[in-house]
Structure 1
Amino acid sequence: MNWIKKYWKWLALVAALIALSGAVAFLPIKDWVKAFSDWVRTLGPLGVVVFIGAYALATVLFLPGWIFTVAAGLVYGVAGGTAVALTGAIIGSTLAFLCGRYLVRKRVEAATKGNKKFAAIDKAVGEQGWKIVGLLRLSPIVPFNLSNYFYGVTAVGFVPYVLASAVGMLPGTLLYAYLGGAGKAGLGGEGGQSPLKWVFLGIGLVATVVVTIIVSRTAKKALEKAGAAKGK
């Protein structure tokens, strides 16, 4: 059963997709999505600002960002949703970083003191800076929301942190926005989607997942080589 332990996150993602499919079949998901989409669109450009602000606040408050990313894909499509969600994630992670560095630094240091994993990451960041931050974003060894505060007490600079985070968060953001965009395509239109379009959506989703897995595994190997993946 080692393979289950190794790939449990991806198995959980598949299970979530199956659950979403079941929800679509038995719940008025289409009506809910349409109502939410219509409400955001009625706000016009302000809707984008509200969405980004909500995402940023959720990040600071340790709320799961993937929900907002999927929602962004539903409302704005894959490209637009990725841009909106990534912007919100960058702003939120930056605010959390600044809080960790200036407002709650002692609490973060106390919470991570004695943790071998954080110690290894702290050492690696001190030696290689933004490279480790970017790799950790690609292969999250520590939870996303918690890591934002933790990076605030490391030696990484503000600008390198923001840039590395933006690049590192892009693949995951694209994946969840694609899920939302696919859901939008599946839920939209009275006549439904043609089989050919569903094939293309499926191929695109599989390709996105595969690329994300490859990038994540490559980043993890690089982190192990740098010593940032040590400790528990």
Structure 2
Amino acid sequence: MSDTTQTPRSGFARHIPLLVILSVALVGFFTLGDYLTFETLRDNREALLNWRDTHYWAMVAVFVSVYIVIVAFSLPGAAVASMTGGFLFGLLAGTAFNVVAATIGASAIFLAARWGLGASLSAKLEASEGTVKKLKEGLRENEISVLFLLRLVPVVPFFVANLVPALVGVKFRNFLLTTALGIIPGGIVYTWIGVGLGEVFDRGETPDVSLLWEPFVIGPILGLCLLAALPIAIKSIRGKKDA
């Protein structure tokens, strides 16, 4: 797909995809929070497992489609969906389905924002001067590293990492690459937790997502963050020496 996406001629029409996404996200925030939960998964676990066993690829198609919608419209329940992938399909296949679905959903909201607000904002940034111009040039020089950091840093909300790059005009191919690769570490952790959900439900307990902050989990992820930031630091040091 080309990085230079054609935008509709009508000033309002190009905002429609993003407006639809924001509207659905707002409605979903207030209406779906009680449905996309671990309790819903627990109450329907037998039916889901039976359907998976008898119609595996149909279940895969439905799961991936639902996950894409959740991500594309920033609906509540993304963490539950990721763990459901592990619960239904195991660690390897579950991680693969989670990553594919999340990447497609993230790309959908990225393109919607790019066609809308991103087109006009990017044009303004291109014409800007002073501090804004320096920030823009710095982002362009370190685009891959910054995008990886947005994906790897645990405190950055997923929808923020989808919208901000579109609004500042990063290349779609770089966004796609860093999304597909950058969400793998977190995807593995969530899927891994989901693999053990059956035993958690049998004990009548709620999944412990605090595992994400255990040193043996967060440590490697922070290490990847440092690795992603290394090119930025090297360029900064070289820039100061050349100044």
TM band (smaller chain): 0.5 to 0.7
Q: Is the 8 A contact 2:83 2:192 kept in 1?
A: yes
SS at match of 2:168: coil
Q: Provide the C-alpha distance between the structure 2 equivalents of 1:102 and 1:187, rounded to a whole number of angstroms.
A: 44
Structure 2: stretches of 5+ with no match in the other structure:
1-37, 123-132, 204-209, 234-243
Q: Provide the C-alpha distance between the structure 2 equivalents of 1:41 and 1:107, rounded to a whole number of angstroms.
A: 49
TM-score by length of 1: 0.63
Partner of 2:107: 94
Per-residue CA deviation, residues 60-104 of structure 1 (Å, 9 max, x unaligned), is 111242111000100001111101111110100111111111134
Equivalent residues in 2 for 1:99-138, closer than 5 Å: 99-105=112-118, 124-138=138-152
From 192, 195, 198, the counterpart of 1:184: 198
Q: Is the 8 A contact 2:189 2:212 kept in 1?
A: no
Partner of 2:62: 50
Q: Provide the C-alpha distance between the structure 1 equivalents of 2:134 and 2:157, rounded to a whole number of angstroms.
A: 15
Identity of aligned residues (%): 24
Q: CA deviation at 1:28?
A: 10
Q: Provide the C-alpha distance between the structure 1 equivalents of 2:192 and 2:134, rounded to a whole number of angstroms.
A: 34
Which deviates more, 130-139 or 31-40?
Answer: 31-40
Which deviates more, 216-225 or 58-67?
Answer: 216-225
TM-score by length of 2: 0.60
Q: Is the 8 A contact 1:175 1:208 kept in 2?
A: no
Q: Which amino acid aligns with 1:54?
A: V
RMSD: 3.7
Matched, 1:155 2:169: yes
Partner of 1:215: 220
Q: Is the 8 A contact 2:145 2:229 kept in 1?
A: no
Q: Is the 8 A contact 1:139 1:219 kept in 2?
A: no
Q: Provide the C-alpha distance between the structure 2 equivalents of 1:106 and 1:155, rounded to a whole number of angstroms.
A: 8
From 24, 29, 49, the counterpart of 1:37: 49
SS at match of 1:152: helix
Q: CA deviation at 1:183?
A: 1.9
Structure 1: stretches of 5+ with no match in the other structure:
1-23, 110-118, 193-204, 228-232
